[in-house]
Amino acid sequence: MSKKIIIMLQIGMVVFISISQFNCSGKEEKKDLSKEEMIALGKYIVTTSGCDDCHTPKIFTEFGPVFDTTRRFSGFPQGEKLPAYDVKYAAPGNWYSAEKNLTAWVGPWGISYASNLTPDNATGIGTLTEEMFIKCIREGKYMGVGRPLLPPMPWQVYGQKTDQDLKAMYAYFHSLEPIKNQVPQPTPPDKMMEILAGK
């Protein structure tokens, strides 16, 4: 083998080793975080992943909607009336609409209402185990075991987070003050009319 080829091979090895090490460290999960560190990590992930956009009711200011932090993550406000809407627009291929808090969504699937993610046992995710929470986000199932989650919950995106990220998010949600707010079950398309008639 010529000297040139050997040098090329050596360079190749160095590049290969650095790439493989980079990949490893990129995927490596941080181990043994304390409970407080998990909660802090979860807070960071949840705050930077847009969960507030749909799960936190809004206050209206002259500059547009802002999150109502007194009701953070409590989901579609119980008893909130939806504005009148012509259901003919909720056909497959058409646009979909949201109510003013961006917590209820009308589309060909009917009406979906963003869930209460605070740890209230009766109305939130208080009784959800960590395993159920992970299944819920990974497989898009209500409570991790039930019916398929409806749009626009982007579980297909969040489901790609690491186990540790999802566990941290769970730890964070469970560290919040529970808020009692009963979010309705989805309205099927054939029942939308009565709710959206605006009466």
Which residues of this chain interact with ligand HEC, rule CB under 6 A?
A: 46, 49-51, 53-55, 105, 112, 114-115, 117, 125, 136-137, 142-143, 149-150, 152-154, 158, 169, 186
Of the pair 12, 151, the CB lying nearest ligand HEC is at 151
Of the pair 4, 120, the CB lying nearest ligand HEC is at 120
Of the pair 7, 83, the CB lying nearest ligand HEC is at 83
CB-CB contact of 78 with 181 (8 Å): yes
Gyration radius from the chain CA atoms: 23
Provide the token pair at 17. 């080793």
- Least Å distance, CB 51 to ligand HEC, is 3
- Least Å distance, CB 106 to ligand HEC, is 11
Dist. CA 27–CA 164, nearest whole Å: 11
Residue burial 136-163, b: 16+ Cβ < 10 Å; e: rest = bbbebbebbeeeebbeebbbeebeebee
- Least Å distance, CB 134 to ligand HEC, is 10
